[in-house]
Structure 1
Amino acid sequence: MTIRILHLEDSKLDAELVRSYLDASGLDFAIDHADTRDGLLSALENPLDLVLADHALPGFDGVEALGICQELIPGVPFIFVSGTLGEDLAIECIRDGATDYVLKQNLRRLGPAVKRALAEAEGRRERERAEAERQATEAQLRVLVAELSHRVGNILAVVQSIALQTLRNSDGLERFEQSFLARIQSLAQTHSLLIQGDWRGASLEEVLRAELAPYQGGRPRWILEGPEIGMNPGAAITMALIFHELATNAAKYGALCDGEGQVNVIWGVEKDEEDAAPRFSLSWIERDGPPVSPPTRRGFGSRLISQVSRSMQGSARLDYDRGGLSCRIDLPSSHLVREDSAGYRAVIDQMRRSQGREADLSGARPAHG
């Protein structure tokens, strides 16, 4: 790499002598010259690796040049090359920040002094880079620890809530164990999906498939229909618990408890007629299963769906038709959807293009399971 050198020198003969000694040292360099304060300031507008300076210059001196360089190009080595620099003044200049000094009467020292100064500057830059990286790593680690602490706290709160609600709705330890472990397994599955996505979120369809996978039969048991939507991490955990309750109920009492029933899950984003804000809606519809009737008391699943929907400023409705259970969930999309998900952006663009006309906003693409 070519070393960029600025030489402050008013004697052309001395300048040529310095150049010849630098050539003899084997350095690859490009050198510019200046002999006034204005010339120095102009030269400092370009990148430099090294400054060589005579002590006595017209109109100003090397000590003033050293101060200017320390202010404008800190870290760039500055070496005095002078025939008038006494030992006491040289020591003072080193104390003020000069890297080294070489007497014109002993220019054989110039090459080694330049090489040593450049090596020290590079070592200093490496240490500064390492320190900056260390500080950045520590800052990132502090953020990660804080985020981890927050997430662990949230997870423990969810687990505690699941445990308490499961206990209240269990008629024995064995029933509690089965229900509780199944719900924790659902939570673990969703966390695996979130980890795969670096905790940015999870796909609604992936979460649905994970919850329905245990009930896959010899023929398609469900149809999933809706746009590709990425959920934020909190919403992914919440919706996974809801899907788990619906799927478990369907496997015990509804469309998935025999080989004949089917579950249709349809979702989309629609424009709210009142405030024009996009809203997310999802319908879980069971068909061809055994007849169902409203439960005599509200269980964990129905309370979870209702409470979660209200907490997200939405609504939920469960209908126990004889043909099968249906559940409709309606939420502001901002509480659930990651706005950077491609499917969501496509639906919003479609809404904007519709310009108030009735439009098919489902973005549906049926998927069978």
Structure 2
Amino acid sequence: MELASRCLRWREKADDQFTAIKLEPALHKWRFNHLPSSIAGRCGIGLRRRQLLWVHGLDEEKRRPWIWLAETYGYRECWSLPLTTRSERLVGCVTLYFPERRVPEKADQDLAAMIGQTAAMIISRHHENENRLRSEERFHQFATAASGALWIRDAITLKMEYASSGIERIYGVDKQTFLDRAETWASSIVPEDRAIAFESLHEAQAGKAVVHEFRIRRVNDGAFRWIRNTDFPLCDPQGRVDRIGGIAEDVTDAKLAIEHQENLLAELQHRVRNVMAIIRSIVDRTIGGAASVQEYAELMKGRIDAFSRVQALLTRAANISVDLRSIVHDELNALAIHEKKVDAMGPAVELSPKAAETMALVIHELAANARKYGALAARDGLVRVRWEVFDLGEQPWLAFDWNEDGAPGQTPSAEPHRVGFGRELIEGRIPYELSGRGNVRIDRGGAQCHLEFPLTNRPSVLGTNAPQRASVFGGTIDRGAKRI
């Protein structure tokens, strides 16, 4: 049986094309792209049975593919055997064609088996190589898309062998420099955190996975950043640690957010205490000025509502200022006082949070008192409200006047009953909280009030100067490295 008289054809299951190899000294190759997959019908029987199958008399076959092979190449005999790997995985079949009819002899079967084993090995290696390339591509896509940075280093020398593109974003240095210069990683860590970073690497060398945090100074912009590293061992087939893998994440923003949240919680607790102190003060002062439970409830509601209204203005932003005209307008509207009974005039004046809170309560007390006892309780009564800004020394001051006219039959002796909490606000809190002065008196026309205080930036009773979120440029973060 001459080698030149045979042709070998092998087929992969996933491919409808066939590679035909004529076994001549030149080992010339060509592809039969036009051969339909149905030509492998009988070969498929050998595939399914996983045994050698031979077909006699190709020239007597009625199907066109076999007739074409017989007429074109003069083939009369076909042997087909499956291709399996060492793990018994079926990868295809190999078919030998002969120009004469013959029964396979022992030497022929041995030769076919050798060819089949060789072809199976080539196909298997080809598949393994393709799978490896696909796996590497998937890993590259995963590493590129990950929010953190992936790295691998030699477990003995600790030299970097692989780094994903995330390294450039986190450490601020190009990936190749990070790989070529082992000191780049160590030098970027702040000195006081290096010990725990190297200790974690040593634990990974010993076969333990470790999660730890440390601070770095980013190379490209000098910013200080918090890094959370996960170090873990990578073992060879014998179970020895030969590589160390790692995942680095920049957790700076998360840490700053947690710190800011802690500050805000402390601020909230402080604000709640301040609010409770204000309400307690209102409750205590209201008890002594109410003649009945119903009056007490009305006074409490009015005062708390006034305090709430000004807080609604202040909480639009941190330590925002409030226009005095808005306070006057809101308090008069809240008491349903007709605008014709109040003559209010003054320039635009922005009050600090503390001054806005105090003035809101003062104007509420004056307006409530005027509606119940004073000028607003009379049909022809009128309240004139004026304010202006003047300079005292090197600082602007606010002068505020509330003058009533036409109160119904009032006498000066009524003032202790009618201006209790309001008098305390004007003559007590204005000097104490706003460093100003104020006085109020009751005459036959109604209440006459004058107060003045410096226009300085004083925080709200709810404000505690909550810090803005910290920045990490130009300074270090003040918490040290730690093991998680």
TM-score by length of 2: 0.44
Q: How does 1:305-324 map to 2 (within 5 A)?
A: 305-311=426-432, 312-324=434-446
Letter in 1 for 2:395: A
Counterpart of 1:148 in structure 2 is: 268
SS at match of 1:244: helix
Counterpart of 2:177 in structure 1 is: 51
In 1, the alpha carbon distance for the partners of 2:347 and 2:431 equals 24
SS at match of 2:299: helix
SS at match of 2:412: coil
Higher relative contact order (CA 8 A, sep 6+): 1
Aligned residues: CA RMSD = 4.0
Deviation of the 1:158 alpha carbon: 0.8
Deviation of the 1:244 alpha carbon: 0.8
Corresponding residue to 1:329 among 451, 462, 470: 451
Report the structure, 1 or 2, having the larger strand content: 2
Shift of the 337–207 alpha-carbon distance from structure 1 to 2, 3 Å rule, reads farther
After superposition, give the CA deviation of every residue in 1:201-226 in whole Å (9 maximum; x if it has no partner).
Answer: 43322222111103445653323322
Shift of the 219–283 alpha-carbon distance from structure 1 to 2, 3 Å rule, reads closer
Do the aligned partners of 1:230 and 1:337 also contact (CA within 8 Å) in 2? no
Report the structure, 1 or 2, having the larger helix content: 1
Counterpart of 2:425 in structure 1 is: 304
SS at match of 1:180: helix
After superposition, give the CA deviation of every residue in 1:189-212 in whole Å (9 maximum; x if it has no partner).
Answer: 222222234453433222221111
SS at match of 2:375: coil
Do the aligned partners of 2:324 and 2:350 also contact (CA within 8 Å) in 1? yes
Q: How does 1:89-238 map to 2 (within 5 A)?
A: 124=248, 127-128=249-250, 131-216=251-336, 220-238=340-358
After superposition, give the CA deviation of every residue in 1:161-191 in whole Å (9 maximum; x if it has no partner).
Answer: 1111111122222221221122111112222
In 2, the alpha carbon distance for the partners of 1:145 and 1:288 equals 51
In 1, the alpha carbon distance for the partners of 2:178 and 2:279 equals 69
Corresponding residue to 2:362 among 230, 242, 246: 242
In 2, the alpha carbon distance for the partners of 1:337 and 1:154 equals 12
Q: How does 1:4-19 map to 2 (within 5 A)?
A: none
In 1, the alpha carbon distance for the partners of 2:458 and 2:177 equals 60
SS at match of 1:196: coil
In 2, the alpha carbon distance for the partners of 1:335 and 1:70 equals 48
Do the aligned partners of 1:217 and 1:259 also contact (CA within 8 Å) in 2? no
Do the aligned partners of 1:255 and 1:290 also contact (CA within 8 Å) in 2? yes
Counterpart of 1:35 in structure 2 is: none
In 1, the alpha carbon distance for the partners of 2:295 and 2:453 equals 32
In 1, the alpha carbon distance for the partners of 2:402 and 2:426 equals 12
Larger Rg computed on CA atoms: 2
Letter in 2 for 1:66: A
Structure 1: 5+ residue stretches without partners:
1-24, 28-45, 54-61, 75-90, 92-119, 339-369
After superposition, give the CA deviation of every residue in 1:18-72 in whole Å (9 maximum; x if it has no partner).
Answer: xxxxxxx9x9xxxxxxxxxxxxxxxxxx96342387xxxxxxxx6xx432x3356
SS at match of 2:377: coil
SS at match of 2:456: helix
